[in-house]
Amino acid sequence: MTDMTDMSDPTGSRPSPRARPAAPPRPPAPPRPAAATRSLFPWAPPTDRGQPAREALTRDQIVDAAIRLLDAEGLEALSMRRLGKALGAGATSLYWHIRSKDELLDLVLDRIIGEVVAEVAMRPDDWRWTAAETARTFRRVLVRHAYVTPIMGARPTVGPNALRGMDALIGVLIGAGFAPREAVLAANTIINWAGGYAVFESRHPLGPDATAEQEAAYSQDFNEFLVSLPRDEYHWMIELGPVVAECTADVQFEYGLARLLDGIALQRAGRPPAG
């Protein structure tokens, strides 16, 4: 048998501690998922994203939990860390499914619009009735999620549910004889009116969770403030204070919606409204 000392040192002495053989090279690290190649559009199919270590979560579960958190505590409470805690997972697990908070908000908005699509009634033979019901349903669902509604104007609404709802409304209008461009303009006007009204309504000074007693107290304080103002500067507001009080959010919404549909009907009939 050959002496190992002979292999390391011709003199037969013991090898120096610094003369240890080099460690074998480490195997190359596996490539990281190419998240950067994913489209900026949240609903685009992922490309080369890989798979998380375990499929404990789905995108739908994350969006559902986000809506629950938003409805309960508002936009300020939402973070990927907080959402992960609510789901019993780390924020990193969420990022396998959703790239950022902005992307999450886009998905949340489209999910809420999906509630509108599911609840709205359609009458293909009555465009005005369908348009009115679409607007009412849109407003009702947005007010239901009042803490989410303010992001409506800050994020794009171009997800599958938004497109599906718009497609259905445009289809009814075209079926009623609207020209394609006219149908697109009318549908967008109706949706924008209802959505804008709901956003305004959700910003009530008392917040979306105000009770009837709080509303009554606020109205009384406002009326007392109104009558304390100089009458020569605020004549009609003071004079018509009771009328203003009667114009509830529902009354104002229905009035505006009716006038909007009147204008669309006149335009379609070739008689543009005055002004």
Tell me: the pLDDT tens digits for 216-231? 888 888 888 988 999 9
Percent of the chain with pLDDT over 70: 78
Position 50 scores a pLDDT of 54
Q: How confident is the model at residue 26 (pLDDT cuts 50, 70, 90)?
A: low
Q: How far apart are CA 171 and CA 123, in angstroms?
A: 11
Structure-block tokens of residue 268: 């379609």
Residue 18 class from Cβ within 10 Å (0-12 exposed, 13-18 middle, 19+ buried)?
Answer: exposed
Pick the closest to residue 35 from 24, 46, 26, 27 (CA basis): 46
Q: How far apart are CA 114 and CA 57, in angstroms?
A: 21
pLDDT digit string (tens) for 120-141? 999 999 999 999 999 999 999 9
Report H helices in the chain.
4-8, 59-73, 80-87, 91-95, 101-119, 127-144, 160-175, 180-202, 212-227, 235-239, 241-246, 249-268
In this structure, what DSSP letter does residue 55 have? -
Residue 7 has pLDDT above 60, yes or no: no
Position 131 scores a pLDDT of 98
Percent of the chain with pLDDT over 90: 44
Residue 8 has pLDDT above 50, yes or no: no
Q: Model's pTM, two decimal places?
A: 0.76
Burial 137-172 (b: 16+ CB within 10 A, else e): bbbebbbebbbbbbbbeebebebebbeebbebbbeb
Q: Which is higher by pLDDT, 246 or 189?
A: 189
Pick the closest to residue 66 from 203, 153, 41, 74 (CA basis): 74
Structure-block tokens of residue 35: 């998240």
Number of neighbouring beta carbons within 10 Å of residue 248: 9
In this structure, what DSSP letter does residue 216 have? H
